[in-house]
Chains A and B, each alone.
Chain A
Amino acid sequence: MATLPLYAQFINLFAAFLLLLAFAMLAQRRVLSLINLFAMQGFALAVSTAIVAYGTHQSHLYWSAGLTLVLKVLLLPWLLHRLIRQLDVKWDVEGLINIPTTMLVGIVLVVFSFNLALPIAQLSHTVTRATLGIAMASVMLSFLMMITRRKAIPQVVGFLAMENGLFFAATSATYGMPMVVELGIALDVLVGMIILGVFFFQIREQFDSLDLKHLETLKENE
């Protein structure tokens, strides 16, 4: 441990936070808390990106960190909160699978991710390569969250959290993507969020509920 510089230890710390928050989101039943956790994850991501920027003197990463902070900590959670208020959906989130089982599956996924990241990490030469496994694990966990949730809003949160994990993977493996790509993705997420927001209203108007099981009726009949 002593061989690692201080900033790298901090990066590992925030990476650990990220993973922890991903598990917390997986376990969280309430929509409001879920959004808060998502904001916290965004904050951890922003801070860790800033530290990477500081430690490796990659100035463009400061921009990424700033962008993450504005978009994922402030704008998106605010949008989601507004949406919940407008739709009046502060109910508890019921999962398709109960929480302990989900957690167990999550642990298996983390092991798988670390196993997967090991050979890739050895190819990389960044200080942050050790955190690649965590990044992949948080992608997987977010995906799992999308699968296990029944309502539309938690699924969107899962989708956004998945983007967090991808972003973190990019930072840790190659010190971030080119700025253009990053801006593009940020914009995509924003636009995706707005479109999904519109869809929520449409879905509720159609089915009087945001429960996705109503969408099953859209399936082509035999």
Chain B
Amino acid sequence: MSDNALGLVIAAVVAWIVIGALGLVRPRELRFVSHLLFPLGAAVGLALAVVAFFALGQLPQSTVLPLGLPDLPFHLRLDSLSAFFLLLLGAVGAAISVFAAGYFRSGEGAAPGLLCFEYHLFLAAMALVLVADDAYLFMVSWEAMALSSFFLVTTDHRIPEIRQAGFLYLLIAHVGAIAILLCFGVLQGGSGDYTFGSMRSMVLTGAWPSVAFFLALFGFGAKAGLLPMHVWLPEAHPAAPSPVSALMSGVMLKTAIYGFLRVTFDLLQGQLWWWGVIALVLGLATALFGVIFACVQSDMKRLLAYSSIENIGIIVAGIGLTILFKSYGKTLLAAITLTAVLYHALNHAFFKSLLFLATGSVLHATHERSLGKLGGLIHRMPWVAWLALVGTLAIAGLPPLNGFVSEWLLLQAFLFTPSLPQSFVNMLVPLAAGALVLAVALSAYVMVKFYGIIFLGRPRESNLAYAKDAGWFERAALSFLALGCVVLGIFPVNVIAMLDPVNAMLIGSTALHADSGNWLLLTPINADRASYSPLIVLIGIVAVVLLTAQVVHRLYHGRVRRAPPWDCGFPLQTPRMQDTAEGFGQPIREVFDAVFRIERQLPSPFDTAPKYAVKVGDHLWHWLYLPLARGADALGRLVGMIQQGRISVYLTYSFFTLLALLFFVR
């Protein structure tokens, strides 16, 4: 099996494409598409994950497919890095497919068969991106990925906002793709050979490696949602159907991380320390920006989109730190940092997909995306609520779940930086660590808001009483992802051992210390400095909970008195008196006032039907994107001036062109 892992990966890609094409055979038949094709796609995803898991430790395999243009075949290669991301794609993709089997129904805006086609094409394109071994196949599948996801985002294309969101996404995806293409153009170093094999052996001189690095940072950053190319994320994620948001946020953003890692650590020969500093600063800025904006959102999918920006920021900051360590030859530290990065990418794929899918269930049950009209759903939708709680705790970075492990590892790596030789970096890194901690803490705040407002409290609207819990397909998918969050949290040592081949390939060192044979205890450097045992934490938490329950039970047993609580002098209490999403975010909005562009509409005291509206905008949109758009428009008008509508003027143009050509050719 492991001998021909690459063949199996190709088979999985073909299977996905075939399943997608089958959807087009009977596009309107919902049962056929959702109860047969999507589960089939999930099975393929699971198989891919298993294959990738076994291929992680194997030697790289490569092959050449006789497809593509004449004399320009497709090169494919499966190495540890690809295998890791394929594992992520397969596992999370399978869960999302199972969810989609129960989620998609008629009236979603497009025929189910068409959705099935675009969805599986999207999966297949992502898998191809991960195994591409030449710039040609990489770009072809990259574009296929962008286009299929664009059509998925604009599923409900009859709504103008969704069309606009789709356009913004497509625009930024293409600007990024141009940068990536240019990056490959630099990397091939004038040899004209666009295979990654030739790029690996190419030694670039002068400023060219830096140019390639920054083109990659820009290009992949646009796809990942790095500042300042993040604007498409909060627009596209709410616009897309929830499984698509989950797939885009959980998996597609990771393909951008994959591409960035591939270029930085595999295709480029060496890394310079200041690249790391810039990636670190940019990543942390993105993380803080994302989390601060997430605090003040009142649309649940928008909130999650900003949280994705935050997580991508953390991952990129980790990559920056890895570059920093590796450029100073601290391979062990670099390996720990990279482990944290990959771990966090995997974790984010699991918990963010889980949360997006949970919002999908809530959306279907209540037809409401605005946090202000939800609440108390834990009574109506216990399955979704409890499984979402696992995801919420994981993303908030609480032990013993998976979010804690990667963030803890990353912080450990930050704490080791004083060993670097440069004092400037030594001063910068504690600051960066502080920013990271702030981002992580705020993300916990965001998650309390997210969970508390949707699932806890009392229903804010009367129609929430009719909300139904998710179906079995959805429950299975959510349970799988929640289980993933728990397993990844409880067995970090095994997961890190699994990641080691990737470290060995990219850094040349493994993160696991030789003497840490203990699978219960995670010790990054040595046990004296820091160690973490999730199982003990779990046992501790369970013990404390049980003990508390016992104590409470004993102390108050039989002395329970049921009476109306003190009502603070307000005898009439309605669910609308609960803390709202805006209210919860208000302190953050005040503290970080300068970051936002707030348009607030305050009611007058004499208004009998007072209305309050607040719109939190993004300064970058007004300072960067709108001027750019205006500039492009003005340039377009300038070009439009040569269109006079008079035949004689057009003839004059061609006449002068002719004269000039004759004059110069002479």
Interfacial residues, chain A to chain B (CB-CB below 8 A): 96, 112, 116, 119, 143-144, 146-150, 155, 212-213, 215-220, 222
**Is the pair A96, B648 in contact by a Cβ cutoff of 8 Å?**
yes
Give Cα A146 to B646, complex, Å. Answer: 12
Q: Contact string, B640-664, partner A, CB cutoff 8 A, digits 1/0?
A: 1001111110011001001100110
Contact B637 A222 (CB under 8 A): yes
25 cross-chain CB contacts under 8 A = A96-B648, A116-B662, A116-B663, A143-B655, A144-B655, A147-B648, A147-B651, A147-B652, A147-B655, A148-B648, A149-B648, A150-B648, A155-B647, A212-B646, A212-B648, A213-B646, A215-B645, A215-B646, A216-B644, A216-B646, A218-B645, A219-B643, A219-B644, A219-B645, A222-B637
Q: Once bound together, how far apart are the Cα atoms of A144 and B655, in whole Å?
A: 8
Count, chain B residues at interface, CB 8 A: 16
Enumerate chain A residues within 8 angstroms of B643, measured Cβ to Cβ.
219-220
* Complex alpha-carbon distance, A213 and B645, angstroms: 9
Q: A150-B648, A216-B644, A220-B643 are in contact. Are A143 and B637 (CB under 8 A)?
A: no
Residue of A147, A215, A222 ringed by the most chain B CB atoms within 10 A: A147
What chain B residues lie within 8 Å of A150 (beta carbons)?
648
Interfacial chain A residues near B640, Cβ < 8 Å:
220, 222
Interface assignment of B666: CB less than 8 Å from any CB of chain A: yes
Q: How many Å lie between the Cα of A150 and that of B640 in the bound state? A: 23
Q: Which of B268-313 contact A (CB under 8 A)?
A: none
Q: Is the CB of B666 within 8 A of A212?
A: no
Q: Closest approach, in angstroms, between the C-beta of A127 and any C-beta of chain B?
A: 23
Determine whether the beta carbon of A116 is less than 8 Å from that of B666.
yes
Closest Cβ of chain A: how far from B97's Cβ, in Å? Answer: 46
Interface SS majority for chain B? helix
Say how far A155's CB is from chain B's closest CB, in angstroms: 7
Chain A proximity of B639: nearest CB distance (Å): 12
Q: Are A212 and B647 in contact (CB under 8 A)?
A: yes
What is the 8 Å Cβ interface bit string for chain B, positions 119-159, against chain A (1 contact, 0 not)? 00000000000000000000000000000000000000000
Task: Report yes or no: B666 in contact with A119, Cβ–Cβ below 8 A.
Answer: yes
How far is B655's CA from A148's CA once the two chains are assembled, in angstroms?
A: 12
C-alpha spacing A217/B655, complex, angstroms: 23
B645 touches A217 (CB 8 A): yes
**Is there contact, CB below 8 Å, between B651 and A146?**
yes
Please give the distance in Å from A130's CB to the nearest CB on chain B: 18
C-alpha gap A51/B550 in the complex (Å): 122
- A97 to B637 Cα, complex, angstroms: 28
B641 to A, closest residue via Cβ: A222
Closest chain B CB from A122 CB (angstroms): 12
**CB closest chain-B residue, reference A97:** B648
Shortest distance from the beta carbon of B254 to any chain A beta carbon, whole Å: 44
Are B666 and A143 within 8 A (Cβ)?
Answer: no
Chain B residue nearest to A120 (CB atoms) is B666
Cα–Cα distance between A149 and B646 once the two chains are bound (Å) = 11
Q: How far is the CA of A148 from the CA of B662 in the complex (A)?
A: 21
Interface string of B528-568 (1 = CB under 8 A from A): 00000000000000000000000000000000000000000
Contact residue among B645, B651, B655 (Cβ-Cβ distance under 8 Å from A216): B645
Minimum distance in angstroms from A200 CB to a CB of chain B: 14
Minimal beta-carbon separation of A126 from chain B (angstroms): 20
Supplied contacts A148-B648, A150-B648, 15 more A-B pairs, CB within 8 Å: A116-B663, A116-B666, A143-B658, A146-B651, A147-B652, A212-B648, A213-B646, A215-B645, A215-B646, A215-B647, A216-B646, A217-B645, A219-B644, A222-B637, A222-B640
Give bound CA distance, A155 to B658, whole Å: 18
Instruction: Closest A residue to B643 by CB, please name it.
Output: A219
> How far apart are B488's CB and chain A's nearest CB, in angstroms?
57
Q: A149 — nearest CB in chain B belongs to which residue?
A: B648
B477 → A minimal CB distance (Å): 50
> CA separation between A146 and B663, bound complex, in Å?
21
Quick one: closest A residue to B647, CB to CB? A212
Residues of B near A149 (CB, < 8 A) are: 648
What separation, in Å, do the CA atoms of A74 and B659 have in the docked complex? 32
Pairs of residues from A and B, 10 with the lowest C-beta to C-beta distance, nearest first: A219-B645, A216-B645, A147-B651, A147-B648, A212-B647, A147-B652, A143-B655, A146-B651, A216-B646, A116-B662
Chain B residues in 8 Å Cβ range of A112: 659
Nearest CB of chain B from residue A23's CB, rounded to whole Å? 17
Closest to B659 in A: A112
Residues of A within 8 A of B658 (CB): 143
Residues of chain A lying within 8 A (CB to CB) of residue B646: 212-213, 215-216
A146 and chain B: residue at smallest CB distance: B651
| A212 neighbours in B (Cβ, 8 Å) | 646-648
- Report the Cα distance A145→B179, complex, angstroms: 49
Q: What are the residues of chain A within 8 A of B652 when measuring CB–CB?
A: 147
Closest to A143 in B: B655
Check B645 against A143 for contact (C-beta < 8 Å). no
Q: Which of B637, B640, B662 has the most CB of A within 10 A?
A: B662
Instruction: Kindly list chain A residues whose C-beta atoms are within 8 Å of the C-beta of B666.
Output: 116, 119
What does the 1/0 interface line of B442-461 toward A look like (CB < 8 Å)? 00000000000000000000
Closest to A144 in B: B655
Chain A neighbourhood of B644, CB < 8 A:
216, 219
B651 touches A143 (CB 8 A): yes
CB contacts (< 8 Å) of A219 on chain B: these are 643-645
Give Cα A212–Cα B637 distance, bound, in whole angstroms. 24
Residues of A within 8 A of B663 (CB): 116
CA separation between A147 and B651, bound complex, in Å? 6
Complex: how many Å from CA A144 to CA B646? Answer: 15
Minimum C-beta distance from B525 to chain A (A): 66
CB of A60 to closest CB in B, whole Å = 29
